[in-house]
């Protein structure tokens, strides 16, 4: 403080000078850059300070006459500071007002929030609670006189129809929003959101601006409020895309009007899309980001609702909003985010996720930044896998879901859930499989048909549904089929498995041929003898050992010794091949087979 407080003697200080000055005041030169509001807090000479952006406080300051409203609620207990952009000027103003009002318990900053202070942290904290409670009580009194957002204009669609809307239109929405940068989308239809999007005043109020300038880093200045027919399900995808593009064009005009030399335009597409009768779609680089946007905008709705009870909602004028949205000191926060990972902004589906290979693939994709739907017949295992991987990643990247690849209803339900959670699909790792050990003359027809159903038809049904969405998204896509070395080098008493996997390989080639014009690739991985964590091998190990005339305990060693490299093939080896084929590193490769078998000359692709 001895170093910081002399800055109060300055009459003016530019942002650049302030940043440089504070940097020189650091006790540790490697510490993060001090907050934009460091001087604001430093110049309030009390021991403890709490600075919050409580919804109730913002509701009072975002009205047409915020000073008179705050005077009525707080009297002389709080100083009212008219809007000033954060930085030296606001800090100087605060210091001046604190000196003029020595008995004040804090200050309310227009469009900004509440600062409470005291000579100890308990006093400061209790004053924060006291002032927020006063604001809440005042708002509750006002609420009885008016309907929220002027009352309802339309009714929400039933839950089933809301989900039908998302299933029908979100691929095209993602396509349009991703014109700037590929985005993960998340759907929210909470009661508060539905009340807002279905209200009379919602469309107009939403376009006034943010509840506080800090929100713009996440939500942008305003959302895109779609205008749809009375029955939203009767909307046309092209019209929805046109409105989203119109929003982006409007942002470009806004940027061109206020820009200064040296600036660059941020992604112009909306972070929040409001849909009357349906709910809200938010976007981000990953699900966590999209959920944060949703949470922040729900706070904005809370502020807007309360402000309309008190008076009418008023935000910053566009020029002031632009000053914050494109303020270098705010944009600096974005530069502090870690670099995006290889699979950031990508959505993957893994079938058969709970086997040894499937688990390794899910772990690799999540670690590389993908959002993953880990599916398996065993829901409990799929959810446990998701929980374990998420704990390791410290992020909700993986969702566990039950999927029966031979059940079309189950497949549709899985993709509908993916659209609700993530907004689309970019990568399918088709891994689910079964195997039967028997010579052709002893092979039961039911087992033949079961192998064909899972190892061929299942891959077809999942691919078919994914392709429909990928083509509507227009963002390309990748398929990686976990096939087997048996496609090229079949083994005795493995006819059902080998034949059905050969059909899967041919399916992959056809997808590569048909889907290339849409930027969609399909490749295959041919593993051999991957025992670790494999439920399949647990079922067939003894029978397969008899085929080769070895003891069951010796089978894994038998597989290792028969390959050229004399290497054991592990799930992580297969997962690394998948990571390569699903990524931009293999962007010029489609219809290919990548063996992961230690080198089997009879299984060399030809």
> Using alpha carbons only, what angle is made at residue 110 by residues 108 and 116, rounded to the nearest 5 degrees?
15
CA distance 398 to 584: 21
> What tokens appear for 69 in the block?
């409203």
Q: Please give the distance of CA 442 from its chain centroid, rounded to a whole number.
A: 51
Strand 477-482 to 520-527 pairing: parallel
- Give the other-Cβ count within 10 Å of 442's Cβ: 9
Q: Judging by beta carbons within 10 Å of its beta carbon (0-12, 13-18, 19+), is residue 32 exposed, middle or buried?
A: exposed
Helix residue ranges, H only, 206-317: 216-219, 237-258, 287-310
C-alpha span between 60 and 110 (Å, rounded):
9
The residue with tokens 């039950």 is 402
Q: Count other Cβ atoms within 10 Å, centred on residue 593.
A: 20
Q: Is the dihedral of CA 418, 422, 424, 430 positive or negative?
A: negative
Measured CA to CA, the distance from residue 367 to residue 352 in angstroms comes to 19
For residue 435, the 8-state DSSP code is: -
Task: Name the nearest CA neighbour of 216 among 279, 152, 291, 296.
Answer: 296
Q: Which of 254, 313, 497, 559 is catalytic?
A: 497
Query: For the chain, how many helices (H) and strands (E)?
Result: 23, 15
List the structure tokens of 410.
Answer: 């189950």
Question: In the annotation, is 497 catalytic?
Answer: yes
Distance, CA of 185 to CA of 173 (rounded, Å): 9
| 523 backbone dihedrals φ, ψ, rounded to 5° | -135, 170
* Radius of gyration for the alpha carbons in the chain, expressed in angstroms and rounded: 30
Residue with tokens 């003891």: 551
Cβ atoms 73, 114 nearer than 8 A: no
| Cβ atoms of residues 598 and 564 within 8 Å | yes
Structure tokens at 160: 């089933």
C-alpha span between 464 and 518 (Å, rounded): 14
CA 565 to chain centre: 42
Q: What's the CA gap between 237 and 398, in Å, rounded? A: 29
Which residues touch 101 (CB under 8 Å, ≥6 apart)? Answer: 76, 79
Let me know: does 345 contact 368? Beta carbons within 8 Å: no
Q: In degrees rounded to 5, what are phi and psi of residue 179?
A: -65, -30
Please give the positions annotated as active site: 497
């Amino acid at each position: 403080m001895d170093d910081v407080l002399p800055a109060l003697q300055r009459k003016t200080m530019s942002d650049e000078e302030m940043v440089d000055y504070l940097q020189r005041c650091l006790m540790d030169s490697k510490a993060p850059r001090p907050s934009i509001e460091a001087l604001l807090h430093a110049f309030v000479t009390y021991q403890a300070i709490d600075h919050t952006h409580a919804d109730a406080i913002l509701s009072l300051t975002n009205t047409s006459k915020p000073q008179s409203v705050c005077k009525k609620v707080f009297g002389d207990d709080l100083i009212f500071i008219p809007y000033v952009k954060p930085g030296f000027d606001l800090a100087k103003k605060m210091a001046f007002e604190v000196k003029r009002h020595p008995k004040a318990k804090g200050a309310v900053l227009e469009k900004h929030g509440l600062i409470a202070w005291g000579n100890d942290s308990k006093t400061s904290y209790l004053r924060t609670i006291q002032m927020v409670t006063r604001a809440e009580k005042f708002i509750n009194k006002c609420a009885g006189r008016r309907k929220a957002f002027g009352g309802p204009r339309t009714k929400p669609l039933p839950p089933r129809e809301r989900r039908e809307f998302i299933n029908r239109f979100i691929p095209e929405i993602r396509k349009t929003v991703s014109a700037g940068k590929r985005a993960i989308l998340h759907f929210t239809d909470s009661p508060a959101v539905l009340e807002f999007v279905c209200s009379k005043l919602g469309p107009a109020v939403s376009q006034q601006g943010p509840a506080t300038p800090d929100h713009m880093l996440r939500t942008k200045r305003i959302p895109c409020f779609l205008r749809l027919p009375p029955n939203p399900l009767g909307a046309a995808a092209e019209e929805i895309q046109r409105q989203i593009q119109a929003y982006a064009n409007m942002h470009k005009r806004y940027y061109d009007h206020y820009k200064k030399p040296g600036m660059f335009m941020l992604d112009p597409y909306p972070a929040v899309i409001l849909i009357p009768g349906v709910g809200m779609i938010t976007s981000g680089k990953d699900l966590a980001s999209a959920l944060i946007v949703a949470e922040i905008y729900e706070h904005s709705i809370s502020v807007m609702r309360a402000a309309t009870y008190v008076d009418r909602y008023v935000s910053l004028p566009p020029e002031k909003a632009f000053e914050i949205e494109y303020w270098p000191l705010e944009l600096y926060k974005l530069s502090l985010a870690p670099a995006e990972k290889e699979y950031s902004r990508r959505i993957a589906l893994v079938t058969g996720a709970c086997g040894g290979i499937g688990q390794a693939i899910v772990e690799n994709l999540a670690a590389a930044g993908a959002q993953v739907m880990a599916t398996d017949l065993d829901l409990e295992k799929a959810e446990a896998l998701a929980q374990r991987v998420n704990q390791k990643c410290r992020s909700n990247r993986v969702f566990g879901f039950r999927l029966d690849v031979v059940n079309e209803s189950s497949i549709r339900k899985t993709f509908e859930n993916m659209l609700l959670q993530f907004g689309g699909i970019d990568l399918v790792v088709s891994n689910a499989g079964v195997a039967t050990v028997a010579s052709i003359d002893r092979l039961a027809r039911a087992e033949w048909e079961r192998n064909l159903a899972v190892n061929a038809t299942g891959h077809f049904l999942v691919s078919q549904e994914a392709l429909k969405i990928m083509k509507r998204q227009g963002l390309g896509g990748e398929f990686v089929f976990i096939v087997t070395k048996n496609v090229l080098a079949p083994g005795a008493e493995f006819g059902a498995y080998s034949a059905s996997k050969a059909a899967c390989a041919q399916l992959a080639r056809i997808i590569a041929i048909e889907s290339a014009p849409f930027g969609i690739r399909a490749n295959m991985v041919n593993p051999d003898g991957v025992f670790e964590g494999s439920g399949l091998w647990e079922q067939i190990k003894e029978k397969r050992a008899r085929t080769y005339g070895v003891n069951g305990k010796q089978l894994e060693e038998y597989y290792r010794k028969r390959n050229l490299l004399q290497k054991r093939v592990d799930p992580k080896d297969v997962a690394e091949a998948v990571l390569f084929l699903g990524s931009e590193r293999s962007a010029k490769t489609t219809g290919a087979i990548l063996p992961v078998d230690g080198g089997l000359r009879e299984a060399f692709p030809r």
